[in-house]
Amino acid sequence: MPGIADFIVIGGGIAGVSVAYELLPHGSVIVLEQESALGYHATGRSAAVMTENYGTPIWSRLVSASRGFLENPPEGFATAPLLTDRGALFLAQAHETGLLQAQYDALVARGARVELVPAADALRWCEVLRPETFAAAMHEPDCKDIDTNELMMGYRRGIRAAGGVIATGARVTAIRRDAGGWQVDTTAGAFQGGTIVNAAGGWAQQVAGMAGLGHRNVLPFRRTAVTFDAAAGSNLHRWPMTFDLAETFYFKPEAGRVMVSPVDMAQTVPCDA
């Protein structure tokens, strides 16, 4: 019966479909997604780059651990390469050069390829920079663009090919536990599972609450991104993903335009951002 599985994964973003895929060898899997399509929320709105030098140290270690799969996915997983060259550039002001050096040392220790240069030299990667604002730059050539659509489709194909079920339009509304395991009510009917995986992203606390669990320290934040046309004649397609160390901006080429974010993180309620 399709409504019963060993594992019920709540959330059809990158977290949900990737964990569902990895669980396939261990039992039957059902993914429940409230929207009509996978990847509708954070997953469909990311800048889609893989860099080993962004966010907390644990993020960087997770990226390093994921690199092998993304570079060499299993046979038949994807119909196109998941990664293409992008490069990343990190810009430090004079008072931040010690921090940049520390990041450089940590990356080298992990085996990442990185280059430290005076800020003026960074113009060779991105000609629109104003190097007088910065003192130093670090270039990470192995930062890649991720084809997030292909990645999501690869997981979807893999789950379905192995007999897994992906139910969209299935918003979980109630969860309870009885002798038969976890009973999960959704807008697309009832499901039953031995183990539930909470991959509900910004809604993780709500889902935990339905299952009778206490506070989970997973909080939704909103981040802004805008796109606009680059100046005529620019080498846009060659620009790396460019960050400042103080995290007041990043920008990159995105579908023939410039995508820029002020790297804001405004706490919010889970919603269609």
Ligand X SMILES: Cc1cc2nc3c(=O)[nH]c(=O)nc-3n(C[C@H](O)[C@H](O)[C@H](O)COP(=O)(O)OP(=O)(O)OC[C@H]3O[C@@H](n4cnc5c(N)ncnc54)[C@H](O)[C@@H]3O)c2cc1C
Report residue 257 as tokens.
């335009």
For position 23 contacting ligand X by CB under 6 A, the verdict is: no
For ligand X, the binding residue among 14, 159, 197, 236 (CB under 6 A) is 14
For ligand X, the binding residue among 3, 120, 185, 223 (CB under 6 A) is 223
- Binding part of the chain for ligand X, among 149-157, 158-166, 188-196, 198-206 by CB under 6 A, reads 198-206
The residue count for binding ligand X (CB under 6 A) is: 31
Give the closest residue to 207 by CA, choosing from 55, 15, 37.
15
Answer whether 148's CB lies under 8 Å from 48's CB.
Answer: yes
For ligand X, the binding residue among 24, 120, 150, 171 (CB under 6 A) is 171
**Nearest distance from residue 167's CB to ligand X, in Å?**
9
For position 168 contacting ligand X by CB under 6 A, the verdict is: no
Alpha helices by DSSP H, listed for 225-273, are none
Give the closest residue to 256 by CA, choosing from 225, 234, 272.
234
For ligand X, the binding residue among 40, 69, 77, 182 (CB under 6 A) is 40
Residue with the closest Cβ to ligand X? Answer: 13
Alpha-carbon dihedral of residues 222, 45, 91, 122, nearest 10 degrees? -160
For position 34 contacting ligand X by CB under 6 A, the verdict is: yes
The long-range contacts involving 65-73, CB below 8 angstroms and separated by at least 24 positions, are 70/144, 70/146, 70/151, 73/154
- Residues in touch with ligand X (CB under 6 A): 10-16, 32-35, 40-43, 45-49, 171-172, 199-203, 207, 223, 225, 261
